[in-house]
């Protein structure tokens, strides 16, 4: 309660100072302010994102207090805020020559050097600031860490955060920042560990629960992600983006009804978002509620007739219902709006296949593959299109290349086995088939895609009899 009273008191005091300063300007006269008062006025304008006004205050303050190093330090701070790092650095160097044991000087010097991209020199300045800090050492180290966080140098930030945490193991904000930095450098397990430690001490932090949900989602731990997002929403029922991520987590675990509920909750905050309307349509499509899916795709298009994903959704919906001519119309519209989307070309190829437009289908599958050569469905579909076009060598080349990056993928071996049989190379066909059996014997029927006769091949059956299919 005392802290709240102090905040109110300081706020009112600063407001009076600012009013008095602005009155001075309005009356075109001179009022006296001591150094502390000038610092408060400068801070007010900087916090209000009025750096030009703050600089004007600095100039007046320097006239009234020409020997004040605190005012000069504020000048450097304002110059940095205005984007003039080099000028700020020159001012700091002058102060440093006079006051060489002030931690605030080295803190600002380090921050300025970071902005200038001189990270090694920044570390030296910050380490000097720590040497000259005493009672507030942990706060200073934390400030240094945050300076590195702001420029994306999370590993350096972690070094300082761990140093601060050794000095003050009860400072839970350090735990939060440590978790955040580990998240940023991709060490998800460590990030989860520190966020959980933070939440043990601060269970009502919606941001920590939200971040934890994001991390669990990255690990495909959707149940844990859902729990985390629900905690965030329980703490703050207006945390709109948590509803969105919660809906995505439900959708990822194929709980489409709950996904729809939460997408609709998100719409209460975000109005008529075409993306969300389309996601709802996708969920209804997955539930085979095709009329409702169509309704939401149409609502999305009504909101934005240039939104390609909604037309893609309608095309996919028509394809699912074997309405291939309508599917073709909508996927062509989607491609007019977005002609670099691999999924769109894949659906175009699949639709053209159903319409017996094999040459055009091959061209579409090739485009999908060119845009995303690592997607298995695109590789497999293109290889099938090559075989349909009697271009077996191209199919072999395509799958062999894909195998280099996926040497433990049994499906590729089985498909290659079928192709080698088609190409009259029984030795390589059996070798590929055996490799597939060694990795995943239960998928052996994949060979039939290219070579249905394999089911009657004596050598194939001998290999099957030796394999463990249980």
For the record, the structure tokens of 92 come out as 């700091």
- CATH number of the domain that residue 429 is part of: 1.25.40
Kindly tell me the burial class for residue 183, based on how many C-beta atoms sit within 10 Å of its own C-beta (0-12, 13-18, 19 or more). Answer: buried
Share of the chain above pLDDT 70, in %: 97
Among residues 100, 120, 145, which one ends one of the domains? Answer: 100
User: Given a cut of 70, is residue 155 above it in pLDDT?
Assistant: yes
Q: How far is CA 75 from CA 38, 39, 55, 70, 406, in A?
A: 11, 10, 7, 9, 59
Containing structural domain, residue 449: 391-470
**CA-to-CA distance for 40 and 277, rounded, in angstroms?**
49
Confidence (pLDDT) at 470: 54
Mean pLDDT (the chain, rounded): 93
Return the pLDDT at 134: 82
The total number of structural domains in the chain stands at 2
Around Cβ 307, how many Cβ atoms within 10 Å? 21
Query: What tokens does 295 get?
Result: 């309704």
| Confidence tier at 272 by pLDDT (50, 70, 90) | confident
In a domain, 397, yes or no: yes
Domain end among 81, 100, 119: 100
Tell me the Cα Rg of the chain.
Answer: 32
pTM over 0.85: no
- Which of 100, 135, 170 is at the close of a domain? 100
What is the per-residue pLDDT for 7? Answer: 42
In-domain check, residue 87? yes
**422-462 tens-digit pLDDT:** 999 999 999 999 999 999 999 999 999 999 999 999 999 99
Question: Does the residue 48 lie in any domain?
Answer: yes
Q: Are 351 and 332 in contact (CB under 8 A)?
A: no
User: Would you say residue 361 lies in a domain?
Assistant: no
Cα→Cα distances 288→27, 155, 221, 397, 435, Å:
73, 48, 26, 38, 39
Instruction: Compute the average pLDDT of residues 253-278.
Output: 94
Given a contact cutoff of 8 angstroms between Cβ atoms, the answer to whether 213 and 245 are in contact is yes
DSSP letters, 86-135, are HHHHHHHHHHHHH-TT-HHHHHHHHHHHHHTT-HHHHHHHHHHHHHT--T
Q: Where are the alpha helices (DSSP H) in 132-255?
A: 137-150, 154-167, 172-184, 188-201, 206-218, 222-235, 240-252
- Indicate whether 108 belongs to any domain: no
Residue 249 in tokens: 């987590």
pLDDT number for residue 11: 60
Residue 4 has pLDDT above 50, yes or no: no
């Amino acid at each position: 309660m005392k802290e709240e009273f102090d905040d109110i008191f300081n706020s009112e005091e600063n407001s009076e100072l600012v009013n008095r300063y602005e009155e001075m300007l309005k009356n075109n006269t001179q009022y006296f302010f001591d150094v502390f008062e000038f610092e408060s006025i400068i801070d007010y304008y900087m916090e209000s994102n009025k750096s030009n006004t703050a600089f004007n205050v600095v100039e007046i303050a320097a006239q009234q207090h020409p020997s004040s190093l605190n005012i000069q330090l504020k000048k450097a701070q304002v110059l940095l805020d205005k984007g003039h790092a080099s000028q700020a650095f020159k001012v700091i160097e002058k102060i440093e020559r006079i006051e060489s044991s002030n931690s605030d000087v080295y803190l600002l010097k380090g921050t300025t050097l970071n902005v200038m991209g001189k990270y090694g020199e920044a570390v030296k300045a910050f380490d000097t600031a720590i040497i000259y800090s005493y009672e507030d050492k942990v706060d200073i180290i934390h400030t240094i860490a945050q300076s590195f966080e702001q420029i994306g140098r999370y590993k350096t930030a972690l070094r300082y955060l761990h140093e601060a945490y050794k000095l003050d193991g009860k400072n839970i904000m350090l735990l939060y920042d440590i978790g955040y930095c580990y998240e940023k450098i991709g060490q998800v397990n460590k990030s989860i560990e520190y966020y959980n430690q933070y939440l043990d001490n601060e269970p009502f932090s919606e941001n920590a629960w939200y971040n934890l949900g994001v991390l669990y989602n990255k690990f495909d731990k959707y149940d844990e992600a859902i729990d985390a997002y629900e905690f965030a929403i329980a703490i703050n029922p207006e945390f709109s983006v948590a509803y969105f991520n919660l809906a995505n987590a439900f959708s990822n675990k194929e709980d489409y009804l709950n996904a729809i509920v939460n997408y609709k909750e998100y719409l209460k905050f975000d109005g008529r978002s075409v993306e969300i309307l389309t996601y709802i349509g996708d969920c209804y499509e997955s539930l085979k509620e095709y009329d409702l899916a169509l309704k939401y795709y149409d609502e999305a298009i009504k909101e934005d007739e240039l939104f390609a994903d909604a037309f893609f959704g309608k095309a996919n919906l028509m394809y699912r219902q074997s309405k291939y001519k309508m599917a073709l119309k909508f996927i062509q519209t989607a491609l007019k709006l977005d002609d670099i989307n691999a999924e769109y070309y894949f659906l175009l190829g699949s639709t053209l296949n159903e319409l017996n437009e094999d040459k055009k289908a091959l061209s579409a599958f090739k485009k999908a593959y060119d845009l995303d050569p690592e997607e298995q469905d695109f590789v497999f579909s293109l290889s099938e299109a090559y075989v349909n076009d009697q271009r077996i060598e191209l199919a072999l080349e395509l799958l062999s290349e894909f195998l280099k990056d996926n040497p433990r993928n049994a499906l590729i071996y089985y498909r290659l086995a079928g192709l080698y049989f088609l190409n009259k190379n029984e030795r390589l066909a059996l070798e590929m088939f055996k490799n597939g059996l060694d990795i995943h014997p239960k998928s052996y029927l994949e060979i039939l895609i290219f070579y249905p006769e394999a089911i009657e091949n004596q050598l194939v059956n001998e290999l099957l009899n030796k394999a463990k299919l249980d």
